A and B are shown apart, each in its own frame.
Chain A
Amino acid sequence: MFCKPSWRTLLLSTTTVLAVGVISPDARADIPDENYQPVLAHLLGTVMPPKLDDFHAATENLTSEFKDFCSDPDKSGLEGTQAAFHAAMDIWQEIQPWHMGPLVANGRDQHIEYWPDKHGTAARQFRKLMFDKPAAYTDPEKLSGASAALQGFPALEEVLFADDHGDQMVAADEDGVFLCQYGTAIATNLGTLSGELQAEWPEFATAVENAGPDSMDYPTAKFAATDLYRALHEGLLIISSQKLARPLGDGAEDASAGRAESPISERSLRNIEHNLIGLFAIYDGTWGDVGEEGKGLAALIDNSLLDRSFKLNWQTVGDTVAELPPSVAEVLEQPNGYTVLTDLKGQIDFLTTLVENDVGGNTQLGGGFNALDGD
């Protein structure tokens, strides 16, 4: 059981203080376009590239672990490969919300992780795959042209963590041999995707940093910075409306951990914890040991009280997630688990409101697309 003070108590107390110091965004003069450029340069040119290096290294390590495991399968090798999966997934979850440029070009983010799977496509296609065992799916290059639902982290999760797949790979039976080859192909393809992302990012960053009338895509730096704001805003919306609302369902009776992200590897809340790290970097400009405090969107906010309050609220939510077990399933097993997750969703929703009102208002960014659902 997790007994925590109400998130409203924790969060609203800070924003009550805030109300005194906030200047109405409407009363402000327009932020000069050149003010957005250092933020773009810092976040896209300084902060993100080392993280993409980390991601690529993690996927390369995952491939290496998978190959080693499959060359002489045993329990220890399986566990090592699962650990490599988690390490790669951790850094991916931090990068995932930076929904822009090479990350989303040609559906790259979907190929890295196809989720949520609203129509159950992955399960249906995986059943057929295991029935047919087509050789093409053991070839990383051919796999890259396959369904997004059959490549990337969720597919790899299925191979490494689902049902008896681990045992089958260790036993090296017919299914196990195919799973090993298929899993290695997925990991290799992830290495390729992360390498492409790493390679393409600098050109994108340069294009954004050079926003101006001569740019087809970014006629102003403010227009370009809007993508960063949207990433921050949508990242929180996705955590709330998909990563938490889906498993929560319409009520406690309807809750299902199976609808959470990464349910088989039991890391749905660990994903959110890492999402928040990557998202905070957009605001603050620091990401682990990379970057510099106050050089993200916060640089555009001329209000230190608001800034401190926002960070405090964010820290509160981050602490909440960090104290929870890594999976939604584990929390839902507790007597008050549903309430705990509902409260967490409330905290995320509150952060979203702060982003809309305080960050959006004071940076004069906002609007545009919502990268969420259609039918």
Chain B
Amino acid sequence: MKIAKILGTAALVTTLGAQAYAAPAAKDVLTTYADIAHAGYEDSLITAKELQAAIDELVANPSAATFDAAKSAWLASRAPYQQTEVYRFGNAIVDDWEGKVNAWPLDEGLIDYVETGLYGEESEENPAYTANVIANPTLTISGETLDASTIDAALLESLHEIDDVEANVATGYHAIEFLLWGQDLHGTDAGAGERKWTDYASGDACTNGNCDRRGEYLQAAADLMVSDLEWMTAQWAEGGEARETVLEGDGVPGLTAIVTGMGSLSYGELGGERTKLGLLLHDPEEEHDCFSDNTHNSHFYDALGIQNVYLGRYTRVDGSVVEGPSLSDLVAANDAALDTELRAKLAASVVAGKVMVTRAQGGEAFDQLIAMGNEDGNAVVQSFVDALVDQTKSIEQIIAAVGIDGIEFEGSDSLDNPAAVN
């Protein structure tokens, strides 16, 4: 888990006094920011509870229908959560926590059976690469024996990032995703994971063994995720630590958090690690929602989340809208041209993300789009990257426009492309 670095002490400068027209107070902008965070995490919690209920139903009454319902609930749960990712960078309380719910990529062999022909049988970096908790009530990892006879939240938490290997992801959305879809063995061809509902069936109908333990794991992971999201929702409620933190002081730390989150997610994380890297390597292993082939949606909602916090407007899962004074208003008061430019660029990123969604809905998922030789698909993904890089350049200019300083955004090894900003 990383957090963007704040290089120096941010200092509010006097540019706020030279505004073209009345700007909102920083506190009001930050209140909107916190309100949207609270609504986003609460929506994530609501949809996670629906997923939890669907999983309980699947385990109690395994069938193709209950299995599909659980998968649908997982897909629905991603939309609000991904819109909260913009809060991760810049807010330490979120960044320190988020690995429990959205860590990625994962060595799924820790959790359940895998096709070793594709996945391999061992990893120099990860002693638990094929530990397969579901199949093994007793585990030996790096010479230490672990009692996994009871699969519950405590066990999953103890396995998470075990041996200090970040790829040992035992909890959160992607662990659940793997347990619902299984490995995507199609490479860059069409198709997601094809786990059968019978992996949760009883008695002789059970496929791949240990269906009861697999169900226990799935339920424990869902319970834990609900618990984790309850905690984070509370942090953004009135009196919550996250809300109090962004609202404290003269407003500069809070505004810094907003800009850091927007820039770091745009540039290093979403543009770089999650998108450009996949394109460079043409490798489906670099896909964020790699089991379900839902990456297009996750990327789209990430981009939408960035736009939400800038515009100070979020549409909740029930259709209601949370809105208020925004960073956009503040920037416009200081530099109307920059605000216009950034609004346009944020919209362009959302549109570029939507193009990927449309392609996926037409049968060409993200892993196909990044395939070697798919020049048209590659171009679609590159357009998304370019739009994110482009908007980051403008986000950077907010720093001067509203009088905050010393922000360093997260970057990526795979991305630093000024030439794309044209």
Q: Which chain A residues have a beta carbon within 8 Å of chain B's beta carbons?
A: 99-102, 104-107, 109-111, 114, 116, 119-121, 124-125, 145-149, 204, 216-217, 227, 234, 250, 258, 356, 366-375
Also in contact, A107 and B274, with CB within 8 A (given A101-B418, A367-B7, A371-B416): no
Bitwise, B357-385 to A at CB < 8 A (1) or not (0) is 00000000000000011000000000000
Cβ A99 vs Cβ B416 within 8 A: yes
Cβ A369 vs Cβ B409 within 8 A: yes
User: Which of A116, A234, A372 has most chain B Cβ within 10 Å?
Assistant: A372
Closest to B419 in A: A105
Closest to A146 in B: B372
B305 at interface, CB cutoff 8 A: no
Which B residues between 43 and 82 are near A, CB-CB below 8 angstroms? none
B373, B392, B411, B421: the one contacting A217 at CB < 8 Å is B421
Cβ B285 vs Cβ A369 within 8 A: no
Cβ B281 vs Cβ A370 within 8 A: no
Cβ A120 vs Cβ B125 within 8 A: yes
Which B residues between 283 and 312 are near A, CB-CB below 8 angstroms? 283, 285-286
B372, B405, B419: the one contacting A104 at CB < 8 Å is B419
Closest to A249 in B: B164
Cβ B408 vs Cβ A367 within 8 A: yes
B283, B406, B420, B421: the one contacting A367 at CB < 8 Å is B406
Cβ A107 vs Cβ B125 within 8 A: no
**With the chains together, A128 CA to B167 CA distance in Å?**
22
B272 at interface, CB cutoff 8 A: yes
Cβ B7 vs Cβ A147 within 8 A: no
Closest to B282 in A: A147
A100: chain B residues within 8 A (beta carbon): 416, 418
**With the chains together, A164 CA to B55 CA distance in Å?**
51
Cβ B417 vs Cβ A105 within 8 A: yes
Also in contact, A367 and B282, with CB within 8 A (given A101-B419, A250-B164, A374-B269): no
**With the chains together, A113 CA to B382 CA distance in Å?**
20
B105, B276, B410, B417: the one contacting A119 at CB < 8 Å is B105
B267: chain A residues within 8 A (beta carbon): 369
A198 to chain B, nearest CB (A): 15
Cβ B280 vs Cβ A114 within 8 A: yes
**With the chains together, A287 CA to B273 CA distance in Å?**
33
A149: chain B residues within 8 A (beta carbon): 281, 283
A145, A227, A258, A367: the one contacting B373 at CB < 8 Å is A145
B412: chain A residues within 8 A (beta carbon): 371-374
What are 29 sample pairs from A and B whose C-beta atoms fall under 8 A apart?
A99-B416, A104-B418, A104-B419, A105-B418, A105-B419, A105-B420, A107-B280, A107-B417, A116-B413, A120-B125, A121-B281, A121-B285, A145-B372, A147-B372, A148-B280, A216-B421, A366-B406, A367-B7, A367-B405, A368-B409, A369-B392, A369-B396, A369-B411, A372-B411, A373-B2, A373-B273, A374-B274, A375-B103, A375-B166
**With the chains together, A264 CA to B27 CA distance in Å?**
55
B138 at interface, CB cutoff 8 A: no
A109: chain B residues within 8 A (beta carbon): 416
**With the chains together, A77 CA to B396 CA distance in Å?**
51
Also in contact, A120 and B282, with CB within 8 A (given A370-B5, A373-B412): no
User: Which of B263, B373, B417 has most chain A Cβ within 10 Å?
Assistant: B417
B125: chain A residues within 8 A (beta carbon): 120
**With the chains together, A227 CA to B421 CA distance in Å?**
14
A101, A110, A227: the one contacting B413 at CB < 8 Å is A110
B120 at interface, CB cutoff 8 A: yes
A111: chain B residues within 8 A (beta carbon): 280
**With the chains together, A18 CA to B109 CA distance in Å?**
55
Also in contact, A375 and B104, with CB within 8 A (given A104-B419, A125-B283): yes
B120, B269, B419: the one contacting A375 at CB < 8 Å is B269
B: number of interface residues (CB 8 Å): 53
Also in contact, A217 and B120, with CB within 8 A (given A145-B373, A369-B268, A370-B408): no
Given contacts A369-B263, A371-B415, 7 further A-B contacts (CB under 8 A): A107-B279, A149-B283, A367-B7, A367-B406, A373-B2, A374-B268, A374-B410
Cβ A147 vs Cβ B283 within 8 A: yes
B407 at interface, CB cutoff 8 A: yes
B283: chain A residues within 8 A (beta carbon): 121, 125, 147, 149
B414 at interface, CB cutoff 8 A: yes
B419: chain A residues within 8 A (beta carbon): 101-102, 104-106, 204
Also in contact, A370 and B417, with CB within 8 A (given A111-B280, A121-B283, A121-B285): no
A374 to chain B, nearest CB (A): 3
A374: chain B residues within 8 A (beta carbon): 2, 268-269, 272-274, 410-412
Shortest 5 CB-CB contacts between residues of A and residues of B: A374-B273, A105-B419, A371-B411, A148-B280, A374-B269
B158 at interface, CB cutoff 8 A: no
B117 to chain A, nearest CB (A): 10
Cβ B2 vs Cβ A375 within 8 A: yes
B7, B281, B414: the one contacting A366 at CB < 8 Å is B7
A17 to chain B, nearest CB (A): 25
B422 at interface, CB cutoff 8 A: yes
B204 at interface, CB cutoff 8 A: no
Closest to B4 in A: A370
Also in contact, A371 and B372, with CB within 8 A (given A216-B421, A356-B7): no
Closest to A145 in B: B372
Cβ A124 vs Cβ B408 within 8 A: no
B144 at interface, CB cutoff 8 A: no
A356: chain B residues within 8 A (beta carbon): 7
B403 to chain A, nearest CB (A): 14
A363 to chain B, nearest CB (A): 15
B167, B414, B418, B422: the one contacting A107 at CB < 8 Å is B414
B34 to chain A, nearest CB (A): 25
User: Which of A99, A106, A119, A369 has most chain B Cβ within 10 Å?
Assistant: A369
A148: chain B residues within 8 A (beta carbon): 280-281
Cβ B396 vs Cβ A147 within 8 A: no
**With the chains together, A100 CA to B281 CA distance in Å?**
21
Closest to A124 in B: B120
B11 to chain A, nearest CB (A): 10
B347 at interface, CB cutoff 8 A: no
Cβ B408 vs Cβ A369 within 8 A: yes
